[in-house]
Amino acid sequence: MQITRIRFTKTFNILILAAVAALAIIAPSTFLSDFSPEQQRTVGLLVLAIYLWTISPLPSGAASILLLAMMMILGLVDSVEGAMTGFLSQALYFILILTILARVLVKAGVDKVVASQLLRLNRKGPKVIAVALPLMIAILPVLMPSAFARLKMLLPFIDRLNDTFGFSHRSIFRKYAMYVVGLMNQNGTIIVYTGGGFPVLAAQLLKDYNVADLGWLEWFLIVAPPLWTALLLVNVFAWKYLKRTYPSEIPADGKYQQSRPESEFGTTSEKKKFWFVIITFALMILTWAVINNDAVPTLLPPMILLVIYSLPKVGLLGNEDIRAFDWENFLLLGASFSIGILLDQNGTASVIAEQMLQFVPDGSGMIFKIMILALITFLFRMIFIVPSSAIIVIFPVIISYADMTDIPVMSIAFLVIMVVGGTNIFPIHSPTSYFAFQTGVLSKKDHYIIASFSTCIFIMAAIIAAASYWMLWQ
């Protein structure tokens, strides 16, 4: 899923570049005076990256290659290999393989089975489905590691149920369902580190910066309580808000039409293929949950599974599936990793963290410092369209800050993960919320009210968890 970035006028971009050039002249002798020349150039590269990945007219793939070239032009790395270090991260290839494997689930008919179970609930009315749908979305990341795939899987059946109930195009039921498969779907993806690209990157960052090397089950136990609490509060708010704002379309007699569930499988072969995929996926997840990462690397089970699905007799994967991967996003993430590594290695992240300390009053308590960090993370997240880029760049800065204070690093790390992953105020902040917004079902007012409330709840949940629950995992 491609996110269409906002394109500004030529004049606007010229003004931005002129402002950057002026800052490049003034900054070294003013607010960058505490940075070494190399660190000043690194900050300049970071500012350029933010511009190129947000409002620049240059495609993000080409922009990522330009940033790699700039690392060499500015003398920030000694060789081409130094600029390409971000592409050595196993997280990139984990995302690649899981994205390809997600296509297998669709080919095997897993989407039809899940949706058919949803259709069977239509005889009990929309309120039951309004409860079942978020529960399904909260659990599905365990099996289907793609938020956009989950949205595309459920969207046609939501539309069908809405029509079956006799509701209008913008009914309360359809608005709420669009919020669930759009906004909640994206926020809930971090329940397991295999739930999507963002948690995969976050887990890799924890390991790269020596915060923790967590197993699948450990990640789930750390993230699930605060995440599900936040999602529950936002779901209740969204339903209450929509009910109060829009008129009910429930029939007076409470009776609805019933949609007959379609046959899940056309042939015995399709049924066998479905169970083969379900069993092998379950074995992969069980391997992650039970076996230590040191004994079996996390990337190994999906690598083997990809090869098995590609065998001629199985025939679930082909070269066309690999070609269909979003390679532009691959370049963006690799370049982001390279910049993040550079920030950490040449000390730029530490100096930025020292500058951040100036905004914290002397003698401040731990909770106040956590709140300041949450606010800084939120503001930084708002700059980036893609959450993965945001966390890769800000993570070394926040970890450096944690090292200079008495705040446990594990709490700070998951604070960043929760805030970045839970901030989706603008539709372009995630592919699923953008797609849901583009349908026109949720008005701008609906989206911004629900999304703003959701972001506030996620920030509050992250602050509370960082000051209490996550402290237990040190």
- pLDDT tens-place string over residues 44-72: 888 888 777 766 777 878 888 999 999 99
Share of the chain above pLDDT 70, in %: 83
- 203 and 312 together in one domain: yes
Top-confidence range, 10-14, 19-23, 85-89, 153-157? 85-89
Spatial neighbors of 462 by CB under 8 A, at least 6 apart, are 226, 374, 414, 415, 418, 419, 422
Top-confidence range, 119-128, 251-260, 422-431? 422-431
Per-residue pLDDT band at 22 (split at 50, 70, 90): low
Q: Chain-wide mean pLDDT for the chain?
A: 80
What is the CB-side half-sphere exposure of residue 147 using CA atoms within 13 A? 29
Output 291 or 411, whichever has higher pLDDT.
Answer: 411
| Domains contained in the chain, number | 2
Per-residue pLDDT band at 287 (split at 50, 70, 90): confident
Inform me whether the pLDDT recorded for 222 exceeds 90: yes
Q: How many CB atoms lie within 10 A of CB 266?
A: 9
Domain assignment present for 227 = no
Per-residue pLDDT band at 24 (split at 50, 70, 90): low
- 308 and 342 together in one domain: no
Spatial neighbors of 122 by CB under 8 A, at least 6 apart, are 129, 161, 164, 165, 256, 258, 259
**Single residue among 278, 300, 323 that ends a domain in this structure:** 323
What is the structure's pLDDT at 464?
Answer: 95
Per-residue pLDDT band at 25 (split at 50, 70, 90): low
**Single residue among 301, 323, 345 that ends a domain in this structure:** 323
pLDDT per position as a tens digit, 159-187: 877 777 778 888 888 899 889 988 888 88
- 370 and 466 together in one domain: yes
- 160 and 113 together in one domain: yes
Identify the burial level of 311 via C-beta atoms within 10 angstroms of its C-beta, where 0-12 means exposed, 13-18 middle and 19 or more buried: exposed
- 340 and 310 together in one domain: no
Domain assignment present for 410 = yes
Domain assignment present for 4 = no
Inform me whether the pLDDT recorded for 414 exceeds 90: yes
For the chain, how long is the longest CA-to-CA vector? 75
Identify the weakest region by mean pLDDT among 149-163, 198-212, 365-379, 442-456.
149-163
What is the structure's pLDDT at 343?
Answer: 80
Domain assignment present for 236 = no
Per-residue pLDDT band at 369 (split at 50, 70, 90): confident
Domain assignment present for 139 = yes
Spatial neighbors of 382 by CB under 8 A, at least 6 apart, are 423, 425, 426
Output 44 or 358, whichever has higher pLDDT.
Answer: 44
Per-residue pLDDT band at 31 (split at 50, 70, 90): low
Output 365 or 117, whichever has higher pLDDT.
Answer: 365
- 40 and 161 together in one domain: no
CA angle 208, 211, 213 (to 5 degrees): 70
Domain range enclosing 128: 90-222+257-323
Q: What is the CA radius of gyration of the chain?
A: 23
- 181 and 273 together in one domain: yes
Q: How many CB atoms lie within 10 A of CB 328?
A: 15
Identify whether the C-beta of residue 301 lies closer than 8 Å to the C-beta of residue 97: no
Domain assignment present for 301 = yes
- 331 and 182 together in one domain: no
- 286 and 171 together in one domain: yes
Identify the weakest region by mean pLDDT among 180-184, 188-192, 220-224, 297-301.
297-301
- 140 and 188 together in one domain: yes
- 165 and 45 together in one domain: no
pLDDT per position as a tens digit, 292-344: 777 778 788 889 999 999 998 888 888 888 888 878 878 887 888 788 788 87
Q: 196: alpha, beta or left, given left = phi > 0 and alpha = psi -120 to 50?
A: left
Domain assignment present for 235 = no
Domain assignment present for 455 = yes
Three state DSSP letters for the chain: CCCCCCCCCHHHHHHHHHHHHHHHHHHHHCCCCCCCHHHHHHHHHHHHHHHHHHCCCCCHHHHHHHHHHHHHHCCCCCCHHHHCHHHHCHHHHHHHHHHHHHHHHHHCCHHHHHHHHHHHHHHHCHHHHHHHHHHHHHHHHHCCCCHHHHHHHHHHHHHHHHHHCCCCCCCHHHHHHHHHHHHHHHHHHHHCCCCCHHHHHHHHHHHHCCCCCCCHHHHHHHHHHHHHHHHHHHHHHHHHHHHHHCCCCCCCCCCCCCCCCCCCCCCHHHHHHHHHHHHHHHHHHHHHHHCCCCCCCCCHHHHHHHHHHHCCCCCCCCHHHHHCCCHHHHHHHHHHHHHHHHHHHCCHHHHHHHHHHCCCCCCCCHHHHHHHHHHHHHHHHHHCCCHHHHHHHHHHHHHHHHHHCCCCHHHHHHHHHHHHHHCCCCHHHCHHHHHHHHCCCCCHHHHHHHHHHHHHHHHHHHHHHHHCHHHHHC
Inform me whether the pLDDT recorded for 428 exceeds 70: no
- 339 and 288 together in one domain: no
**Single residue among 276, 302, 323 that ends a domain in this structure:** 323
Share of the chain above pLDDT 90, in %: 14
